[in-house]
Structure 1
Amino acid sequence: MLDVLVIGGGNAALCAALTAREAGASVLLLESAPRELRGGNSAHTRNLRCMHDAPQDVLVDAYPEEEYWQDLLKVTGGRTDEKLARLVIRASSTCRPWMVKHGVRFQPPLSGALHVARTNAFFMGGGKALVNAYYRSAEKLGVQVRYETPVDRIELRDGRFVAAIGRDGERFEARSCVVAAGGFESNRDWLREAWGRDERGEWPADNFLIRGTRFNQGVLLRQLIDAGADSIGDPSQSHCVAIDARAPLYDGGICTRIDCVSLGVVVNREARRFHDEGEDFWPKRYAIWGRLVARQPGQIAWSIIDAKAVGRFMPPVFPGTRADTLDDLARQLGLPVGPFVETLAAYNAACRVGRFDHTTLDDCHTDGIAPPKTHWALPIDTPPFYGYALRPGITFTYLGLRTDETAAVRFADQPSDNLFVAGEMMAGNVLGQGYTAGVGMSIGTAFGRIAGAGAAAASRLATARNHTAKEARHAFA
């Protein structure tokens, strides 16, 4: 019988498969996507947030455990399991040599991302290169890989994994299993259920775009919760980013993100500001803006900048709407001209310009308006002016399976002895809300390796029990 079955094809699943194989287990990995689309959301990633107490090749200065923890605590608002969060943080300090062994290469951050040079290690070639390196290593080590093999159901017996049932009815038995099949961000019906209707009776989720794979439908997550697995997290919470409204429905990835929010103002379709654009550094706060836009009428907003901001942020893939006057920009964007000009005039008048420095929490702020802009507040008064339409872009959802430091799936608060979980399917244990750049890959890498090691150990134990049982039967035959 197969030792370890891994369900999923992204970073967490691959880390689990590689770790289990290194431990001597026979491993089969089932990826629902075709080979050319393998890797799930991991293919769209760029970096890994890493704890380090001293400079390490591509990582400058130091990023100690307590600072990492405080950054995570701040963005989650305390909605995190400290024990598991610190496990992830500490694991992030030791995982890179293992990743390099399996073919992953790192590089210094490119211009436009230098502000995370201290906290994040960037993958050479991005997430697609990481995924490809892991698949190459898995194949060399003898991990079996099946593409276009979605799994619809896990067969359980008293909280133990028995078999996985594929969509076509094929049955996959194994001594242990790791589920790392992603969240439900691509399941529009489930997003509707999670977000409900707004005050106009409309479904906000109908206006959401999906930054990553179309294959994360949450089928196994739903089935396991229905089968009694303990869950954690708010289904409406997710890694939700404000992205270009012209982005495709699926797989737009990193290039659709609009990174100029902190350099200007953001208005809704009534041409009103609704949140502090400069409350903190962009890597710590960028993932709140998708949810903020989702709460606006029609789930749309516009990021407005002037010529002073150009060159200070990672340029998006689509050019912004350009105008030489604010009146003309409002007309081109389809916004009410009077309120738009009024909003910008009030903002400009409220700016208290000190020493502008976008690499620090500077002293440029507003005074006397709500919402305030806490940092980087410069008047928008230098043509040409630019506007970027924003929509909520869902990366991954936070509703998941409750687990512990062993990565075991829990039933009635009891850990399964042969079913483990990693990646998006359990990220809600660490991320109750909010996000900070690179932490998703930290969670997937840490728990993927823990789950893989646990599954291999469970398989060895099952094999030993079977041998003991056979010896007992022979003794009394």
Structure 2
Amino acid sequence: MNGQSDIAEHPAAYDVVVVGGGNAALCAAIAARRAGASVIVLEAASKFYRGGNTRHTRNMRCAHDAATATLSGPYSEDEFWDDLVRVTDGQTNEQLARMMIRESKDMLDWIFDQGVRFQPSLGGTLSLGRTNSFFLGGGRAMLNALYLTAERLGVDVLYEAEVVALDIDGDRFHAATVQRKEGRMRIRGKALVAASGGFESNIEKLVEGWGEIARNFLIRGTPNNRGTVLDMLLGADVDSVGDPTQCHAVAIDARAPKYDGGIITRLDCVVFGIVVNRNAERFYDEGEDVWPKRYAIWGRLVATQPDQIAYIIFDAKSANLFMPSLYPAIEAASIGELAAKFDLDPEKLTETVAQFNAAVHEGSFDPDTLDDCHTENLTPPKTHWARRIDTGPYYAYPVRPGITFTYLGVRVDHEARMMMKAGGPAANMYAAGEIMAGNVLGRGYAAGIGMTIGSVFGRIAGRGAARHAAQ
């Protein structure tokens, strides 16, 4: 395998080569095939583990004008834009973001036409029944539907086909080399769609940006997203976008596996209690905003705490208000006993809870809206959903930063074409999904936006690649 002679040539040349196997890749492949192109999908994972992080998703956020059978009300383009600006603190490409939001309005019908089915939001799912559409059967069922449609349309799929080299001359793609069990193979194409995810499972690459604290991070998604294709593209003078330390990072159960724990390790109970660090001290407002718009800040917050660990403390009143995690909460008869189970200072935690309780101004508690239950004269405050933690038994979850995907990626234009460092778009290279999410997400996150980015830009990239191949 040391020379060019060791690389077999694939017998077919394709119009469109899609690198990746998740939602963005499949939307691109289907769109390109429906536009008449010959398409191959190169998936590094095995068939069982295909789909990258899409396997762990359950919904997508799309603008829509009215309630439907599975959505409880309208969600306008302007409201979507306002939500995006708020969670990113304005760090987004407005032209691309507004285009994505506009295009998202017909994505639900298009996705449905590809065989994906939806269901109403379940109770406890982040109050998303109006804004987000939930996949019937979750992300894996969605993937199965997209793969079935792609295969019926004649899209070729290679599994366990890791791309190890890209033949790029200037701004033009010519071929991809994949590593398979039987050896290396070169696959030629008239256009490339890169939809191969971020680099969140590459711990050494995370350490480059975050420092040694990144070794304490857990990876919610696939272990296959190591950023190798991104590195190849940036090394070929494709322009970059985003900050290597910005990512979709949530607080997940500290007992979760290092990789692939998925959505069931996420904890949605922060707003119903308090969060303390190893010193048994609170460090942020747990009730700042409704959970779908703020849950993704907690991974970064925990990352800044000692040993990158924190503890969510709540009582019996709140025990049934959220979706349970994979692991049961730790239970105790008193706050002091609860502290001891986590090797926290019992006196300090008891004092922290007492100070919080004394500051609570209880109003009309409503877990679904910005209620008037808040603290007074407490730093940091809890601005909504503040209730005294005074009803045993008492519970706690240990949490660590759970990285879903990273935002450093390739810069694209409104046609999903990669932009070159020298200026202007690449001749025949497109990108979709996490590998270009930093164009829309400079920071922050709101539930379901990752799937929106993948679906919208995937379809645009697939259509554009097919158009180029036909010229």
Q: TM-score, normalized by length of structure 2?
A: 0.96
Give the CA RMSD over aligned residues.
0.9
Q: 1:457 aligned to 2:467?
A: yes
**C-alpha separation in 1, matches of 2:43 and 2:427:** 24
Which of 169, 180, 188 pairs up with 2:203? 188
**C-alpha separation in 2, matches of 1:2 and 1:170:** 14
Bigger mean CA offset, 286-295 vs 159-168: 159-168
* 2:200 counterpart letter in structure 1: E
Runs of 4+ in 1 over 6 A off after TM superposition: none
**C-alpha separation in 1, matches of 2:165 and 2:85:** 35
Asked if 2 retains the 8 angstrom alpha-carbon contact of 1:182 and 1:218, the reply is yes
Secondary structure of 2:283's counterpart equals: coil
* 1:458 counterpart letter in structure 2: H
How far residue 333 of structure 1 moved from its aligned partner, in angstroms, is 1.4
TM alignment of 1:107-146, pairs within 5 A? 107-113=119-125, 115-146=127-158
TM alignment of 1:374-453, pairs within 5 A? 374-411=383-420, 412-453=422-463
Q: Deviations over 1:252-311 (max 9, x none)?
A: 111001111000000000000000000011111111101100110100000000001011
In the superposition, relative to structure 1, how do residues 114 and 414 fare at CA in structure 2: closer, same or farther (>3 Å)?
closer
Q: Where does residue 471 of structure 1 map in the other structure?
A: none
**C-alpha separation in 2, matches of 1:105 and 1:119:** 17
Q: Where does residue 89 of structure 1 map in the other structure?
A: 101
How far residue 114 of structure 1 moved from its aligned partner, in angstroms, is 6.6
Secondary structure of 1:37's counterpart equals: coil
**C-alpha separation in 1, matches of 2:231 and 2:209:** 13
* 2:42 counterpart letter in structure 1: L
How far residue 57 of structure 1 moved from its aligned partner, in angstroms, is 2.0
How far residue 360 of structure 1 moved from its aligned partner, in angstroms, is 1.0
Q: Where does residue 465 of structure 1 map in the other structure?
A: none
Secondary structure of 1:330's counterpart equals: helix
**C-alpha separation in 2, matches of 1:97 and 1:445:** 12
Q: Where does residue 238 of structure 1 map in the other structure?
A: 247
How far residue 111 of structure 1 moved from its aligned partner, in angstroms, is 1.1
Which of 61, 68, 80 pairs up with 2:80? 68
Secondary structure of 2:127's counterpart equals: helix
Q: Deviations over 1:140-170 (max 9, x none)?
A: 0000000000002211112111111223542
**C-alpha separation in 2, matches of 1:329 and 1:447:** 47
Asked if 2 retains the 8 angstrom alpha-carbon contact of 1:2 and 1:27, the reply is yes
Asked if 1 retains the 8 angstrom alpha-carbon contact of 2:126 and 2:268, the reply is no
* 1:190 counterpart letter in structure 2: K
Secondary structure of 2:14's counterpart equals: coil
In the superposition, relative to structure 1, how do residues 114 and 179 fare at CA in structure 2: closer, same or farther (>3 Å)?
closer
**C-alpha separation in 2, matches of 1:35 and 1:172:** 20
How far residue 83 of structure 1 moved from its aligned partner, in angstroms, is 0.9
Q: Where does residue 472 of structure 1 map in the other structure?
A: none
Q: Where does residue 356 of structure 1 map in the other structure?
A: 365
**C-alpha separation in 1, matches of 2:436 and 2:269:** 31
Q: Deviations over 1:206-247 (max 9, x none)?
A: 111110100000001012112211000000010001000011
Q: Where does residue 33 of structure 1 map in the other structure?
A: 45
TM alignment of 1:255-404, pairs within 5 A? 255-404=264-413
Secondary structure of 2:456's counterpart equals: helix
Asked if 1 retains the 8 angstrom alpha-carbon contact of 2:126 and 2:292, the reply is no
Asked if 2 retains the 8 angstrom alpha-carbon contact of 1:33 and 1:147, the reply is yes
**C-alpha separation in 2, matches of 1:118 and 1:286:** 18
Q: Deviations over 1:372-430 (max 9, x none)?
A: 10100001011000010001100000001001101011112210121100000000000
How far residue 369 of structure 1 moved from its aligned partner, in angstroms, is 1.1
**C-alpha separation in 1, matches of 2:129 and 2:391:** 31
Secondary structure of 2:63's counterpart equals: coil
Asked if 2 retains the 8 angstrom alpha-carbon contact of 1:333 and 1:387, the reply is no
How far residue 105 of structure 1 moved from its aligned partner, in angstroms, is 0.2
* Number of aligned positions between the proteins: 455
Q: Deviations over 1:53-78 (max 9, x none)?
A: 21122112211011110001000001
Structure 2, gaps ≥5 residues long: 1-12
Structure 1, gaps ≥5 residues long: 197-202, 462-477
**C-alpha separation in 1, matches of 2:158 and 2:92:** 35
Secondary structure of 1:35's counterpart equals: coil
* 2:326 counterpart letter in structure 1: V
